[in-house]
Structure 1
Amino acid sequence: MITFDQVGVRYADADRPVLRGVDLTVPEGELCLLVGPSGSGKSTLLGTVGGLVPHFTGGTLSGRVTVDGRDTRTHRPRELADLVGTVGQDPAAHFVTDTVEDELAYGMESLGLAPAVMRRRVEETLDLLGLAELRGRALSSLSGGQRQRVAIGSVLTVHPKVLVLDEPTSALDPGAAEEVLAVLQRLVHDLGTTVLMSEHRLERVVQYADRVLLLPGDGTPPELGDPAALMARSPVRPPVVELGLLAGWSPLPLTVRDARRAAGPLRERLADRTPRRPASTSLDGTPGEVLAEVSRLAVTRGPVAALRGVDLRLRAGEVTALMGRNGAGKSTLLGSLVGLHRPAAGSVRVGGLVPHRTRPKELIRRIGLVPQDPRDLLYGETVAAECAAADRDAGAAPGSCRALVARLLPGVGDEVHPRDLSEGQRLVLALAVVLTAAPPVILLDEPTRGLDYAAKARLVEVVRALAADGHAILLATHDVELAAELAHRTAVLADGEIVADGPTPETVLASPTFAPQVAKVLAPFLTVPQVAEALS
């Protein structure tokens, strides 16, 4: 279905090609998962399939990509629209209408489909992706995860033969991600749709893949093959595979079920051992100072009651994870802490200040927010200019922000424009901009979106160091593995209310939805490093 014939891509002013020597064929009716570290060329490879590379992005394409016999060099994206459906990392960039229902219908209108066909397909897609209750909602009022589902639905209604998806579950809660992946599997098995997708959260998707396309990122050619075989030598892999490598299991498990079948002897070795938990108290054993407090907070956004009676305290030295399904109110709570939303009832205080009544210049010294869309914070023409502005605004020593970017994501050049970075790279840059000011309270909204496991590990180190220095950190995340590894406390939001709040092990182990992979195999252990430490 998709053939790459000695494909290479090079962008102007780049010191080396993004891709080279891609020579393989993706068969029809299979789900092929792209795997590789950040910056290895996954998004570029996906872009070549729909003709976005080079017709839209620029650059030089060598070799040839054919999709169902159509050469993407001679067919522009609009001439492939009936064949290839593409959803990029930023779903909002695809929207051309104002409401959910209109967006689902737009692609079919462009192809001139009959109104009766359009109506039927819109209804089918609303049900498939759990969007029926949102059909009349404005796209601007949706959460990031809801927008992601709408973007996927907008290409499904056209019934393409090939689906190209870049990080399709990155903004989805675990339940919604399972629903989307189940839909994709149904399309592959029942309709013979060919799905080519990249995803950093491999723990969610690798078990669904028929094949893995590994882009090592070290200059060696990509390799297409069996998921288990390639995971064994991939530079990025999910926790259950890491656990299998640690325990010496063969074959390596790709699913929790496979790992549980092999875990009997390992459970016996760990039976009398308990995992070490990170301390979140000060050196004298007392809880840290309360740096931000939300009391009986209610917030309305238009006709929607986004938050209802929320109580939360953020303490010095403590990392708190905020979890819950898409649309539960997580981003609204973070926005309320930085004064973006005026309370309808209750109160918010940050270091004695009322955020929505405080000047931003004063508030930024007390609290910093990295939003879901990092472009909201980025205005410079280059990475170097963005970092220099962050140093000035924070009153930090020159080079502070740039050093943080280099630490979190090595290899990003000074002269690169922020818009030319991947979603994960932009997120790291925005994170560095906020962390340069080192405010006592730091809020991170989906901080691992677009990050591979190595970049996420570096983020964990930075956040732990901040907590050790006495900062209070609140992460709104769907990444259960991050919460398990990093958070001292986890609070769960549902329909604007906190329904669980306590030590992370207690909270995540009590919920199959929010339990990490290792906990499902070896509870009460939550992470592979905990298991390794116990074995040693």
Structure 2
Amino acid sequence: MIRFEQVSVHYDGAARPALAAVDLTVPEGELCLLVGPSGVGKSTLLGAVSGLVPHFTGGILRGRVTVAGRDTRTHKPRELADVVGTVGQDPLAHFVTDTVEDELAYGMESLGIAPDTMRRRVEETLDLLGLAELRDRPIATLSGGQRQRVAIGSVLTTHPRVLVLDEPTSALDPAAAEEVLAVLQRLVHDLGTTVLMAEHRLERVVQYADQMILLPSPGAAPLTGTPAELLPVSPVQPPVVALGGLAGWPPPVPLSVRDARRKAGPLRERLAPLAPRPVADPPPGGPVGEVARLSVRHGRVEALRGVDLTVRPGETVALMGRNGAGKSTLLACLVGLYEPASGSVRVGPDRVVPHRTRPAQLLRQVGLVPQEPRDLLYADTVAAECAAADQDAGAAPGTCRELVGRLLPEVADTAHPRDLSEGQRLALALSVILTARPPLLLLDEPTRGLDYAAKARLVEVVRGLAADGHATVLATHDVELAAELAHRVVILAEGEVVADGPTAEVVVSSPAFAPQVAKVLAPLPWLTVPQIREALEGAP
């Protein structure tokens, strides 16, 4: 169905090709998972399938890419639209209408599908993706995860033979991600749809994949095979695979929690007399973020209702909950983007009221890295962004660039932020905010687009900030990140706080938010692979 024949892609001004010597086949009716570290060319490979590369992105494509027999170099994206459906990392870039129902119908209108068929497919898709209650909602009022589901739905309604998905579950809560993956699996098994998907959260998707394409490093030829064959040699691995390597389990490597539990008996016996190192309590001090009885309305929707939250210096708090629960709204209130309908918000050592504070003063009290990091990036180069961040924060020249070097060691000063991958843009935006060293840092879906190595670097940065007394609140669906980083987990549902407590207590008691290691080793109190490695290395 998809065929790459010695394909290379080189962008103007780039020191090396984004793809080199790619030669592979994706058969019809298979779910193929594209894996590799950030910046190795996964989005370029997906774009070559849909025709966006080179027709939209520019650059030089050598070799041949065919989809259902059509050469993507001679067929523009609109001439492939009846065969290939594409959902990129940024759902907003796809939307052309104002409401959910209109967006689901738009693609079919463009293909001239009969109105009766359009109506039936819209209803089916609303039910499949749990969007029925949102059908009349303006897209601008949806959460990031809800927009992601609408973007996927707008592609599904056209019934393409090939689906190309770039990080399709990155903004989804665990339950919604499982629903979307179940839909994709049904399309593959029942309708013979070919799915090519790039995803960093391998723990969610690897068990569903028939085939895996591994891009090990920039410019390297891809490796193809089954997930069980490639994951042991992959630079990115889900926790169950890393756990198997640490425990020395014989092949095949486990791809699911169920597979891992069957092999974990001896490891549980080794760990039974041991205990995880307790998380250090944050240093004492007055709160740097305080929310009391906060309520916020978006038109007719009550986004937050009577929320209480206190964040102290050196504390890392994970906000979790399903899409639309109010996590992003709460972060926005902490930086003054929304005025409360009732209740109060105060931030920073000076306890300022965010929506009444000038931006220049607020910058030194609290900083937000939003879900869409490009909202913070305006300059033409990484170096110019860093220079502007130093100036705005009153920091010494080079401060921001040093942070970028820690998070993105491979990115050049001359690179345009627009040309970075989603994960690289996020790291740059985080560096811009951290330059001012705000006492309270807010991160909205901070691991979206990040591979495991980049996530590990982010964890070290946030831990370093906590050690220096900075507080961090992160809204995330990444249960592995929360398990590794957070002192506390706060779960929101329908705009209300339904749980607030130590991470180990909250996530283990919730099947939806428990990390893979906790599920494999239950009822033992282990959450992450690094915890176990540290304990085994220190054991007598």
TM-score normalised according to structure 2 size: 0.98
> 1:14-25, aligned counterparts within 5 Å?
14-25=14-25
- Per the TM alignment, residue 278 of structure 1 is displaced from its structure 2 partner at its CA by 2.0
- Aligned partner of 2:209 in structure 1 is 209
- Aligned partner of 1:319 in structure 2 is 316
Q: Deviations over 1:331-377 (max 9, x none)?
A: 00000011111111111011321111111111111000000011111
- Aligned partner of 1:338 in structure 2 is 335
Secondary structure of 1:220's partner? coil
Query: In structure 1, what is the Cα distance between the partners aligned to 2:206 and 2:509?
Result: 25
Secondary structure of 1:185's partner? helix
Secondary structure of 1:290's partner? coil
- Aligned partner of 1:263 in structure 2 is 264
- Residue 190 of structure 1 aligns to which amino acid in structure 2? D
Check the 8 A contact 2:18/2:219 in 1, yes or no.
Answer: no
Runs of at least 5 residues in structure 1 that lack an aligned partner in the other structure: none
Moved >4 Å (runs of 4+): none
Structure 1 residue 517 corresponds to structure 2 residue 536: no
Q: Deviations over 1:289-315 (max 9, x none)?
A: 311100010011111000000000010
> 1:351-370, aligned counterparts within 5 Å?
351=348, 352-370=351-369
Check the 8 A contact 1:288/1:317 in 2, yes or no.
Answer: no
- Per the TM alignment, residue 409 of structure 1 is displaced from its structure 2 partner at its CA by 1.4
Check the 8 A contact 1:239/1:528 in 2, yes or no.
Answer: yes
- Residue 20 of structure 1 aligns to which amino acid in structure 2? A
- Residue 6 of structure 1 aligns to which amino acid in structure 2? Q
- Per the TM alignment, residue 218 of structure 1 is displaced from its structure 2 partner at its CA by 4.8
Aligned-pair RMSD on alpha carbons?
0.7
Query: In structure 1, what is the Cα distance between the partners aligned to 2:255 and 2:379?
Result: 42
Q: Deviations over 1:359-413 (max 9, x none)?
A: 1111111000000011111111111100000000111111111111111011111
Judged with a 3 Å threshold, the aligned counterparts in structure 2 of structure 1 residues 11 and 437 are, in CA distance, closer, same or farther, namely same
Q: Deviations over 1:106-165 (max 9, x none)?
A: 000001111001000000100110000000000000000000000000010000000000
Secondary structure of 2:511's partner? coil
Structure 1 residue 375 corresponds to structure 2 residue 374: yes
- Aligned partner of 1:32 in structure 2 is 32
Check the 8 A contact 1:445/1:476 in 2, yes or no.
Answer: yes
- Per the TM alignment, residue 510 of structure 1 is displaced from its structure 2 partner at its CA by 0.6
Q: Deviations over 1:166-222 (max 9, x none)?
A: 000000000000000000000000000000000000000000000110000154310
Query: In structure 2, what is the Cα distance between the partners aligned to 1:17 and 1:321?
Result: 38
Structure 1 residue 227 corresponds to structure 2 residue 227: yes
> 1:84-99, aligned counterparts within 5 Å?
84-99=84-99
- Residue 106 of structure 2 aligns to which amino acid in structure 1? Y
Query: In structure 2, what is the Cα distance between the partners aligned to 1:136 and 1:80?
Result: 30
Q: Deviations over 1:251-275 (max 9, x none)?
A: 2101000000000011011111111
Check the 8 A contact 2:41/2:218 in 1, yes or no.
Answer: no
Query: In structure 2, what is the Cα distance between the partners aligned to 1:218 and 1:105?
Result: 38
Query: In structure 2, what is the Cα distance between the partners aligned to 1:300 and 1:432?
Result: 32
Structure 1 residue 498 corresponds to structure 2 residue 497: yes
Query: In structure 1, what is the Cα distance between the partners aligned to 2:19 and 2:229?
Result: 23
- Residue 304 of structure 1 aligns to which amino acid in structure 2? V
> 1:29-428, aligned counterparts within 5 Å?
29-250=29-250, 251-282=252-283, 287-351=284-348, 352-428=351-427
Secondary structure of 1:177's partner? helix
- Per the TM alignment, residue 241 of structure 1 is displaced from its structure 2 partner at its CA by 0.3
- Residue 399 of structure 2 aligns to which amino acid in structure 1? S
- Residue 162 of structure 1 aligns to which amino acid in structure 2? V
Secondary structure of 2:497's partner? strand
Query: In structure 1, what is the Cα distance between the partners aligned to 2:502 and 2:213?
Result: 39
- Residue 530 of structure 2 aligns to which amino acid in structure 1? P
The number of equivalent residue pairs is 532
Q: Deviations over 1:211-235 (max 9, x none)?
A: 1100001543101101111000000
Query: In structure 1, what is the Cα distance between the partners aligned to 2:217 and 2:167?
Result: 18
Query: In structure 2, what is the Cα distance between the partners aligned to 1:277 and 1:510?
Result: 18
Check the 8 A contact 1:390/1:436 in 2, yes or no.
Answer: yes
Check the 8 A contact 2:489/2:500 in 1, yes or no.
Answer: yes
TM-score normalised according to structure 1 size: 0.98
Identity %: 77
- Aligned partner of 1:470 in structure 2 is 469
- Residue 279 of structure 1 aligns to which amino acid in structure 2? A
Check the 8 A contact 2:39/2:218 in 1, yes or no.
Answer: no
Check the 8 A contact 1:288/1:318 in 2, yes or no.
Answer: no
Query: In structure 1, what is the Cα distance between the partners aligned to 2:457 and 2:427?
Result: 11
- Residue 159 of structure 1 aligns to which amino acid in structure 2? H
Secondary structure of 2:97's partner? coil
Query: In structure 1, what is the Cα distance between the partners aligned to 2:490 and 2:11?
Result: 44
The range that moved more, 452-461 or 355-364, is 355-364
Query: In structure 1, what is the Cα distance between the partners aligned to 2:354 and 2:55?
Result: 46
Check the 8 A contact 2:16/2:219 in 1, yes or no.
Answer: no
Check the 8 A contact 2:214/2:222 in 1, yes or no.
Answer: yes
Structure 1 residue 8 corresponds to structure 2 residue 8: yes
Query: In structure 2, what is the Cα distance between the partners aligned to 1:199 and 1:431?
Result: 21
- Residue 32 of structure 1 aligns to which amino acid in structure 2? C
Secondary structure of 2:32's partner? strand
Secondary structure of 2:504's partner? helix
- Per the TM alignment, residue 30 of structure 1 is displaced from its structure 2 partner at its CA by 0.3
Secondary structure of 2:409's partner? coil
> 1:517-536, aligned counterparts within 5 Å?
517-522=516-521, 523-536=524-537
- Residue 227 of structure 2 aligns to which amino acid in structure 1? P
Query: In structure 1, what is the Cα distance between the partners aligned to 2:427 and 2:338?
Result: 25
Query: In structure 2, what is the Cα distance between the partners aligned to 1:135 and 1:333?
Result: 24
Runs of at least 5 residues in structure 2 that lack an aligned partner in the other structure: none
Secondary structure of 1:165's partner? strand
- Per the TM alignment, residue 420 of structure 1 is displaced from its structure 2 partner at its CA by 1.1
- Per the TM alignment, residue 534 of structure 1 is displaced from its structure 2 partner at its CA by 1.5
The range that moved more, 117-126 or 350-359, is 350-359
